[in-house]
Amino acid sequence: MKDSYGFIAPFYNRLAKLVFGNQLAVAKRSFISRLGEKKVLIIGGGDGKDYQNYQENLLGDYWELSQSMLVLSKKNLHRSSLNFHLGNFRQKENHTFDEIWLHFVLDTMFDSEIMELLDQLKRSLNQEGRIFFVDFFQPTTLKNKMLQFFMISFFRMVAQHKRKNIPEYEELFKRCLWEKEKEQIFLKGWVKAQVWKISEG
Ligand SMILES: C[S@@+](CC[C@H](N)C(=O)[O-])C[C@H]1O[C@@H](n2cnc3c(N)ncnc32)[C@H](O)[C@@H]1O
């Protein structure tokens, strides 16, 4: 399996901090409560550095497509109770979670892959379970639009990033019958943290 993030993995977190300070880490902490009581599924968690401060309360599964990112996450989160897996998330029978964290991972996928994952994840949630989603949305300021253009170009070069644009996440979630419950906005709406539940209607 090709490790697209192999080159950038050792610098990824430092680079993100250089550009965004602590904002992305703060966004990832949105809506988190009573962590130690919940079983969490983290997909595409990267090097796991932003979860280090609360790793003792992390229990569940961690999936990474990049071998280099996975090695770093195991080291950075060695005090957690997470089970680490390499590859695309695969549903295990009778294995359900209270929360599924999708942090800056859906923007790396094609629409068809996002929809396939969102459909699959319905079977991985407990009855009251939720998806905790954080990602880049359409930027609203010229400065952020320019920065996004450079970021996408950079990741297309160094990490074989597949997309040239930002997915219409909300439309895709709704098409897969998910319902938005909560939202918090960062960086003038460029980054959003959202909580999604399975639609009742
Ligand atoms: C842009 S990075 C974000 C990393 C981390 N979530 C963060 O916020 O710093 C995307 C990560 O998702 C991983 N990834 C992409 N598609 C994946 C998939 N289908 N399953 C597991 N990991 C995936 C990549 O290997 C990469 O480490």
Give the model's pLDDT for residue 2: 86
What total of structural domains would you count in the chain? 1
Query: What's the CA gap between 173 and 175, in Å, rounded?
Result: 6
* Per-residue pLDDT tens listing for the chain (201 residues): 789 999 999 999 999 999 999 999 999 999 999 999 999 999 999 999 999 999 999 999 999 999 999 999 999 999 999 999 999 999 888 889 999 999 999 999 999 999 999 999 999 999 999 999 999 999 999 999 999 999 999 999 999 999 999 999 999 999 999 999 999 999 999 999 999 999 987
CATH number of the domain within which 161 lies = 3.40.50.150
Distance 182 CA to ligand 1 centre (A): 23
Pocket of ligand 1 contains residue 46 by CB under 6 Å: yes
Residue 3 belongs to some domain of the structure = no
d(CA 171, CA 42): 22
Nearest CA to ligand 1 atom 19: 88
Q: Is residue 105 part of a domain?
A: yes
User: Is residue 89 within 6 Å of ligand 1 at its C-beta?
Assistant: yes
Give me the pLDDT at residue 92, please: 83
43 in a structural domain: yes
Q: In this predicted structure, what is the pLDDT of residue 94?
A: 82
- Ligand 1 pocket check for 193: Cβ under 6 Å: no
101 touches ligand 1 (CB under 6 Å)? no
List, as one string, the DSSP characters of 29-88: TTT--SGGGS-EEEES-TT-GGGGGGGGG-EEEEEES-HHHHHHHHHHTTTSEEEEEESS
Our answer on whether the CB atom of 99 is closer than 6 Å to any ligand 1 atom is no
70 Cβ below 6 A of ligand 1: no
Atom of ligand 1 nearest to the CA of 134: 8
DSSP states of 104-121: S-GGGS-HHHHHHHHHHH
- Rounded to whole angstroms, the Cα distance separating 58 from 65 reads 20
Whole-number pLDDT of residue 75 = 98
Q: What is the CA(17)–ligand 1 centre distance, in A?
A: 17
Determine if ligand 1 sits within 6 Å of the CB of residue 44: yes
What pLDDT sits at residue 67? 97
193, containing H or E segment: strand 191-198
Tell me, yes or no, whether 1 lies in a domain: no
pTM for this predicted structure: 0.97
2 falls within a domain: no
- pLDDT (0 to 100) of residue 7: 94
Cα(109)–Cα(19) distance, integer angstroms: 23
Its domain, for residue 152, covers 9-198
Interatomic CA distance for residues 57 and 61, integer angstroms: 13
Q: What confidence score (pLDDT) does residue 3 get? A: 94
